Structure 1
Amino acid sequence: MKIVHILTRLLRAGSEENTLLTAAGQVAAGHDVVLMHGRDVLPEFARDLAPGARLVTAPSLVRNLSPIQDSRAVLEIRRSLAKIRPDVVHTHQSKAGIVGRFAAASAGVPLVVHGVHILPFLGVGPAQKAVYLRLERAAARMTDGFIHVSEGMRGACHEHGVGTDRAHYVVPSGFDLSRFRNAEPPSDWRQILGIAPGDPQPFVIAMLAALEPRKRHLDLLRQSAGFLKQFPQVRLVFAGDGHLRAEVEAAIKELGLDQQVALLGYRNDPERIIAMADICIHTAEREGLPRSVLQYLAAGRPVVLFDLPGIEEVVTHGENGFVVPQNDWGSFLERVGQLAASPERRAAMAGKARATRLERWDEKFMAERTLAIYEELLPRAVFSEASA
């Protein structure tokens, strides 16, 4: 098959890694794979994770809503697809999901699939929700099948009337499980945490997430400043990069947390950062099913996070982690404090985290299952087109 994946951005984040690992599996299976992306791209990252996949740029494809740019992007992508003549177009991320599906339908692509990593109409105000829902419902009419990262995403689509007459599948976002199960802390962990040889090891909280608004690093810093100052032996470690880096750095200084908060930027050894931590956290206000949370559990680390659609698939409250109602920062910090104060409870939850059944989140399963869905849908899509 000739397969084109379309993404708004091709940077270092969960949806991009999911797509690249899927593409890598498809290349390994002998398929011709193209990664079409907007202007925000790290080509070396893409080539490392998906060697053999070709990169094609659509310069007008941008993240923010822009009627003029979006119209140009539809035409750009349509022209590229007319040249490539793919059997399958698989869109990812919100903007590329809308623009790419309109372009693919107008180019006559036999099979159009949308990967749901996150839904833009969840966790936003009424006006934004109405706009996003209208766009998603329109694009759904040009979609042969949806591939969701979690049952929560599939359920939200059905609940909001998005593509209810289309095929919906759930394929967990895979990664190399063994890499996280067997990791050791980095050799320079003392330097990362800012402690001298001989000093006692601090209590370490890690959060792996791109530095973008919906992950709420800034809110976390402001809400937890008092907690951190009350317990100077605690270290908070952020791993990840993004366009909010300068603001996060400024907030750390402004709040006087330079000695307790480490901002590491992008790391190619996330498993080692998790291995350094006593517990891990996730503060996103909206998300599909966070890959980082799965990685925390694979490494045997208890997690504290805000409630997200489908999170109950992997986190059982009070067993391998704590799930707190969205925006309830008081309860969030209370749960963090409980784990910090009780090594016994922490150890028990760590054991249950490590025992969490994560086989469905294996990267090989993800690539194989996605190909099987294409093969299932292609005859149906071709028949539907011939009957139209």
Structure 2
Amino acid sequence: MHTEASEGWGGQEIRILTESRGLMARGHRLHLLCSPQSRIYSEAQAAGVPVTAMPLSKKKWPGLKAMRDWLTLNQPDVIITHSSTDSWLTAAARVTLGRDIPVIRLRHISAPVTDNFGTRWLYLRASRAVVTTGEMIRQQMIDLNRYPGERIHSIPTGVDLDRFTPGDRDAARAEIGLDPAHQIIGIVASLRSWKGHETLLEAFAGLREHFPVARVVIVGDGLARISVEAAIDRLQLHEWVTLAGDQRDVVPWLRAMDVFVLPSYANEGVPQALRQAMGCGVCAVGSAMGGIPETIEDGVSGLLFAPKNHVALGAALADLLENPDKRARLAEAGLARARERFGMEPMLDRMEALIRQVM
């Protein structure tokens, strides 16, 4: 059983569904509990993942009662929680019902875990194991929170490499309406402040005159759209930036890009979109924070730059736009790295083994 209190949509929610479908294909029974207002509720239904809606978005009595009622009627072998609120509601329901169901707490982001008695109890007593999406997050919890390393398991999110594969760039651009003559710098990410869209726009503003056929394509939507639009206004980039919004199928958008950029400066685990881009054979550039350096080997399978440093990002982009051979070499190495390390099967193997272990 998975629980998710978040009503947003991004890598965390996508992992829940891809992992669920992968384990269902191996013969396991899965069930998701989430908020009726969340996008994952409708996406789970479309993906064929059994789902029940309940008020999990707040730590209040209706959510606790709904969780208690569901656990009274159902007998999950293991519960995997994903956000703070659903983790606390699950723990409270188990304690008040006296049900010793093993719990795995999955930590997706790199923001430090609060260091207090309650959170320590939640992670180490109410949960039998903790999973992080990257080794950096695991080590941070060991170093900062003093959690025992044997309780924490780094299991990065896998990418469906049968879907995210290289394709014809011009055909992809024709499909989505992008000019084949342009050099496309792209990003696929929720519009959140810490994803660093404004850093990308600042970097591009310094390049615009030197690369007249370069363009920026931003795929995704979210609460930071207003600030992104304001940055486009301030930098006078309307003619050079495409805001594509949410796209159900991002594969043609990735294949259309010459360079993929992820300029996050906080909270980033191991980003799926970056690995998807590499699986599509696109040259990748990322900030050196969170789990991004676990994905890109700087100068080998992509380029890294200091977070929030638009000058450094601009220099990296200029280098790649001026040197198509280097861009192709990094893209080829990134594709090889994706095929070797980023597929679905390693994630499913390790999650399956851990589930059996905690049971």
TM category (shorter chain) comes to: 0.7 to 0.9
1:293-308 aligned at under 5 Å gives the runs 293-308=274-289
> Cα gap change, 1:104/1:354 in structure 2, threshold over 3 Å: closer, same or farther?
same
1:190-339 aligned at under 5 Å gives the runs 195=179, 201-228=181-208, 230-285=210-265, 286-339=267-320
Equivalent residue number for residue 91 of structure 1: 81
Shift of 1:118: 1.0
* 2:354 partner amino acid: I
Choose the corresponding residue for 1:133, options 109, 115, 119: 115
Give the secondary-structure state (helix, strand or coil) at the position aligned to 1:176. coil
> Cα gap change, 1:290/1:248 in structure 2, threshold over 3 Å: closer, same or farther?
same
Separation in structure 2 between the aligned mates of residue 165 and residue 230 of structure 1, nearest angstrom: 50
2:93 is equivalent to residue 113 of structure 1: no
Shift of 1:19: 0.7
8 Å Cα contact 2:91-2:126 kept in structure 1 = yes
8 Å Cα contact 1:305-1:323 kept in structure 2 = yes
> Cα gap change, 1:290/1:45 in structure 2, threshold over 3 Å: closer, same or farther?
same
Equivalent residue number for residue 329 of structure 2: 348
Equivalent residue number for residue 28 of structure 2: 31
Equivalent residue number for residue 173 of structure 1: 157
2:42 is equivalent to residue 44 of structure 1: yes
Give the secondary-structure state (helix, strand or coil) at the position aligned to 1:177. coil
Shift of 1:173: 0.5
Separation in structure 2 between the aligned mates of residue 153 and residue 82 of structure 1, nearest angstrom: 34
Choose the corresponding residue for 1:147, options 123, 131, 138: 131
Give the secondary-structure state (helix, strand or coil) at the position aligned to 1:317. coil
Separation in structure 1 between the aligned mates of residue 218 and residue 19 of structure 2, nearest angstrom: 27
* 2:45 partner amino acid: R
1:34-73 aligned at under 5 Å gives the runs 34-42=31-39, 43-49=41-47, 51=48, 53-62=49-58, 69-70=59-60, 73=63
Give the secondary-structure state (helix, strand or coil) at the position aligned to 1:227. coil
8 Å Cα contact 1:74-1:99 kept in structure 2 = yes
> Cα gap change, 1:61/1:83 in structure 2, threshold over 3 Å: closer, same or farther?
farther
8 Å Cα contact 1:306-1:323 kept in structure 2 = yes
Q: Identify the range of structure 1 (164-173 vs 339-348) with the bigger mean alpha-carbon deviation.
A: 164-173
Identity across the alignment (%): 24
Q: How many residues align?
A: 354
Equivalent residue number for residue 81 of structure 1: 71
Shift of 1:323: 1.4
Deviations 1:25-71 (A, max 9, x none): 2333333322111354123322233x1x3222232414xxxxxx456
Shift of 1:354: 1.8
Shift of 1:363: 2.2
> What's the TM-score once normalised by structure 1's chain length?
0.82
2:167 is equivalent to residue 183 of structure 1: yes
Give the secondary-structure state (helix, strand or coil) at the position aligned to 1:110. coil
8 Å Cα contact 2:4-2:56 kept in structure 1 = no
Deviations 1:301-321 (A, max 9, x none): 221111123433331111111
The root-mean-square deviation of aligned C-alpha atoms, in Å, is: 2.6
* 2:248 partner amino acid: N
Separation in structure 1 between the aligned mates of residue 277 and residue 172 of structure 2, nearest angstrom: 20
Give the secondary-structure state (helix, strand or coil) at the position aligned to 2:163. helix
> Cα gap change, 1:255/1:245 in structure 2, threshold over 3 Å: closer, same or farther?
same
8 Å Cα contact 1:11-1:40 kept in structure 2 = no
Separation in structure 1 between the aligned mates of residue 296 and residue 208 of structure 2, nearest angstrom: 25
Deviations 1:231-289 (A, max 9, x none): 33211111112233344334434432221111111223222111111111001122110
8 Å Cα contact 1:289-1:308 kept in structure 2 = no
> Cα gap change, 1:87/1:109 in structure 2, threshold over 3 Å: closer, same or farther?
farther
Q: Gapped runs of 5+ residues in structure 2?
A: none
Separation in structure 2 between the aligned mates of residue 98 and residue 230 of structure 1, nearest angstrom: 53
Shift of 1:11: 4.8
Separation in structure 2 between the aligned mates of residue 237 and residue 7 of structure 1, nearest angstrom: 30
Shift of 1:161: 2.4
Q: Identify the range of structure 1 (82-91 vs 307-316) with the bigger mean alpha-carbon deviation.
A: 307-316
